[in-house]
Amino acid sequence: MAGTNEINANESKRVVPLNTWVLISQFKLSYKLLRRRDGTFNRHLDEYLDRKVPANVNPVDGVISFDVVINRETNLISRIYRPGVAGESLPGVSEVEKPVASDVITPVIMFFHGGSFAHSSMNSGIYDTLCRRLVGICDAVVVSVNYRRAPENRYPCAYDDGWAAVEWVNSRKWLQSKDSKVHIYLAGDSSGGNIAHNVALRAVDSEIEILGNILLNPMFGGQERTESETRLDGKYFVTLQDRDWYWRAFLPEGETRDHPACNPFGPNGKPLEGVKFPKSLVVVAGLDLVQDWQLAFVEGLKKAGQDVKLLYLEQATIGFYLLPNNDHFYTVMDEIRNFV
């Protein structure tokens, strides 16, 4: 690991706004408490430590939210966010599911939260706030998917839940725009970005059209160690030991990090040449230790002839998009608005 913990903490403080540093440092401490050496996870403590917020049909920041059950057998639920007007009477079920505007195209952004496949949920406070922001910034409906988490539910459970949510969204007439179609975009950060990409892969062989993928610091990797992994190991909140634990918790037992879920353009990846695949916006933080794998992912899309835009932010760390306290946050939000 590069440097001591004290040196690394001081280094990260110099480039990260204080409240972001405090937020992510708290996550790092709690995550360390939750992971066990034998590969199990303290889910009860995780649920206790995760600050959750309820859905709210009273507009908060101009947005109402409500939860829906998609699959009772797998306990798959999602939280839906849509614009609301302060002062209006509280909507009933028929009102919250009223059709989107019939005279415009309304994007439906399906969001997959981060947390390295193991942490957080659709109702975690930080992601509830982020989804509300996306509604306002993109004039969109946002569907936040509460996928099953590892290690209790390994690959491919999160992908299965993501695809089930896509099918559900695509079947809702009240989410259709003026052209009688649901205009679906997939988005996510960290492991959520990984899930968004892999759910989009499933759409290739279906009749459901995904219009775009928005991947924020997507979690990819591989068996080989890269330059950025060695250089940034432990410097900005995350260590290789952390990442390796999460991949062991998520991937099928006995699989290496060259599994296509981790390394999509590795030796076992699915070729995308000649495939009708949605355009992608990939945001890479220059201080994320897995940036080399994220950049390799972008190159893989380019070599396959796919439409991809890279937004590389040299001085950004993981989680910079969670708080509006830095220029990188506004740059990314502008890019997302333009993308959809």
Q: Which positions are annotated as active-site residues?
A: 190, 288
Residue recorded with tokens 């250089």: 231
Nearest to 325, CA basis, from 28, 9, 20, 14: 20
Residue recorded with tokens 């989804």: 131
Helix count (H) and strand count (E) of the chain? 11, 8
Q: Which burial class, exposed, middle or buried, applies to 47 when counting CB atoms under 10 A from its CB (0-12, 13-18, 19+)?
A: exposed
Find the distance separating the first CA and the last CA of the chain, reported in whole Å: 40
Alpha helices in 172-290 (DSSP H): 191-203, 227-232, 240-250
Q: Which burial class, exposed, middle or buried, applies to 253 when counting CB atoms under 10 A from its CB (0-12, 13-18, 19+)?
A: exposed
- Reported residue count of the chain is 340
Q: Which letter, b or e, does each residue of 61-76 get, where b requires 16 or more Cβ atoms within 10 Å of its Cβ? A: eebbbbebebeeeeeb
CB-CB contact of 32 with 337 (8 Å)? no
CB-CB contact of 186 with 222 (8 Å)? no
Q: Which burial class, exposed, middle or buried, applies to 243 when counting CB atoms under 10 A from its CB (0-12, 13-18, 19+)?
A: buried
Instruction: State how far the Cα of 163 lies from the Cα of 200, in Å rounded to an integer.
Output: 8
